[in-house]
Amino acid sequence: GRKVLIVYAHQEPKSLNGSLKRVAVEELSKQGCSVTVSDLYAMQFEPRATRNDIVGCLHNSEEFNYGVETWEAYKRGGLSSDLIEEQKKVQEADLLIFQFPLYWFSMPAIMKGWMDRVLVQGFAHEFPNCYDSGLLKNKLALFSFTTGGSREMYAKGGISGDIRYLLWPMQHGIMHFCGVKVLAPHICFAPEYVSEEKRKEMLTAWAQRLKTLWKEEPINCSPEWYFK
């Protein structure tokens, strides 16, 4: 069976994000997938990249460079236990689903902190092994999120600009950089401003999509896809 890691960032289990996460766990488990959830708020995941992420002596105790220190620590097995745990989940997963509400045109800080701390050099990328040759190639990722603004606001001519522009740093700058192939995002627009009926439809649409998810082709991860 395939393995799925859901990295989930929402404070309230009864929220639409909580329901989307639950639907994904149920649907993918039904398909025989093994599903793991990193519930970042429940775990009280530490989003700050600090000296505490390195166990033991520093590579250079004169001047702290987080990127260099975590790279060196990764090579000698000297990262903190919470990072080793998350990296193990990523390593085993065929598919990574990121479930979150859009905050200020981006992911919540706790999830960005997960990216900053978990996807270290040596584990996820190592120049020149990035983009198509990134170290996490052969994995898939999907960003599933809710917005405050309507679909019209995030259209090309809308006040917020094309939603694809916001996906560039997340999908391309992080996932594709690490070699991960990216499936089309799943976006629930403005759930707070629609009827209960509409929110139920959003959950049904997600469950339907998950039924055939493994047949989907990844997006063409090039600037044209985001900015055409």
CATH for 66 = 3.40.50.360
pTM (2 d.p.): 0.97
Q: Quick check: helix, strand or coil at residue 144?
A: strand
Model confidence at 221, pLDDT cuts 50, 70, 90, reads: confident
The domain containing residue 28 runs over which residues?
Answer: 3-227
Number of domains in the chain: 1
pLDDT of 184-218, one tens digit each?
999 999 999 999 999 999 999 999 999 999 999 99
Q: Is the pLDDT of residue 59 over 90?
A: yes
| Mean pLDDT of the region 95-123 | 98
In this prediction, residue 193 carries a pLDDT of 94
Q: Quick check: helix, strand or coil at residue 96?
A: strand
**Phi, psi (deg, nearest 5) at residue 193:** -105, 15
Q: Distance (Å, rounded) from C-alpha 105 to C-alpha 129? A: 28
Residues 6+ apart with CB under 8 A from 112: 47, 106
pLDDT of 65-104, one tens digit each?
999 999 999 999 999 999 999 999 999 999 999 999 999 9
Q: Distance (Å, rounded) from C-alpha 134 to C-alpha 130? A: 4
